[in-house]
Amino acid sequence: MGTRTAVVGVGQTNHTSKRKDVNGQELINEAVKRALEDASLSLKDIDAIVIGNMDHFEAINVVDGWSVDGSGAFMKPIMKVTTGGSTGGTLGSCGYYHVASGLFDVVMAIGWEKNSESDTQAAISTCSDPILERDFFGGAIGPNAAEYAMYMKQFGATQEDAALVAVREHNNAVKNPYAHLRKLITVEDVMKSPMLCWPIKLLDSCPRSDGACAVIYASERKAPKIAARPAWVHATAVSHDYVYFGDYDWEKMPTCQATVDRVYQRAGITNPLRDVDVMELYLPFSTCGVVWMDFMRFCDLGEAPKLIRKGVFDMNGELPINPSGGVMSTNPIGATGLIRIGEAALQIMGKAGERQVSDVRTAMATAFGSCYWFEATVLRSTKP
Partner 1 sequence: MERIAIVGVGQTKYERGKTKNFAELVYEVARKALDDAGMELSDIDNVVTTTNDFFDGRTIACMPIAEASGSYGRDATNVEGDGTLSAFYGLMRTLSGVYGTTMVTAHCKVSEGSPRKLFNQAFDPVYDRLLGMDAISSCALQARAYMHRFGITEEQCAKVSVKNHGNAKNNPYAHVALDITVEDVMKSPMLAEPIKRLDTSPISDGACAIILATEEVVQKKAARKPVWIKGVAHCTDAYRLGERDLTHSLPLETAAKKAYQMAGIKDPSREIHVAEVYDAFSYMELMWYEGLGFCGPGQGGQLIDNGATQMGGKLPVNPSGGVLSAHSVQVAGLARIAEAVLQLRGEAGRRQVPGAKVAVAHGITGICAQTHCVWVLSN
Partner 2 sequence: MENETILEVREKDGLLIHQGVIRVPYTWAAGAVASKFYAGLRNKRIYGVRCPTCRIVLVPPKKTCHRCFGELSEWVEVGHEGTLQTFTVVHYHEPELHPLKAPFAYGIIKLDGADTGMTHVIAEADLKALKEGMRVKAVFKEIPGGNYLDIKYFKPVKGEK
Confirm or reject binding of residue 83 to partner 1 (CB under 8 A).
Answer: yes
In the complex with partner 1, the residue whose CB is nearer, 50 or 162, is: 50
**Among 3, 16, 45, 56, contact with partner 2 (rule: CB under 8 A):** 56
Smallest separation, CB 180 to partner 1 (Å): 22
Give exposure, 164-190, as e/b (b: 16+ Cβ within 10 Å).
Answer: bbbbbbbbbbbbbebbbbbeebebebb
Chain positions 238 to 277 lying near partner 1, rule: CB under 8 A, are 238, 240-243, 258, 262, 266
d(CA 208, CA 179): 12
Which option in partner 1, partner 2, none does residue 18 bind, with CB closer than 5 to 8 A by kind? partner 2
d(CA 75, CA 304): 50
In the complex with partner 1, the residue whose CB is nearer, 293 or 327, is: 327
Whether the CB-CB separation of 362 and 275 falls below 8 Å is answered with yes
Smallest separation, CB 162 to partner 1 (Å): 26
Nearest to residue 212, comparing CAs of 22, 32, 73?
32
Whether the CB-CB separation of 50 and 32 falls below 8 Å is answered with no
In the complex with partner 2, the residue whose CB is nearer, 126 or 265, is: 126
What residues contact 186, with CB distance under 8 A and at least 6 apart?
167
Whether the CB-CB separation of 330 and 191 falls below 8 Å is answered with no
Confirm or reject binding of residue 93 to partner 1 (CB under 8 A).
Answer: yes
Confirm or reject binding of residue 176 to partner 2 (CB under 8 A).
Answer: no
**Among 68, 103, 258, 273, contact with partner 2 (rule: CB under 8 A):** 68
Other CB atoms within a 10 A radius of the CB of residue 261 amount to 16
In the complex with partner 1, the residue whose CB is nearer, 239 or 324, is: 239
Which option in partner 2, partner 1, none does residue 72 bind, with CB closer than 5 to 8 A by kind? partner 2
In the complex with partner 1, the residue whose CB is nearer, 107 or 363, is: 107
Confirm or reject binding of residue 118 to partner 2 (CB under 8 A).
Answer: yes
**Among 37, 102, 134, 158, contact with partner 2 (rule: CB under 8 A):** 134
What residues contact 80, with CB distance under 8 A and at least 6 apart?
50, 51, 52, 62, 63, 64
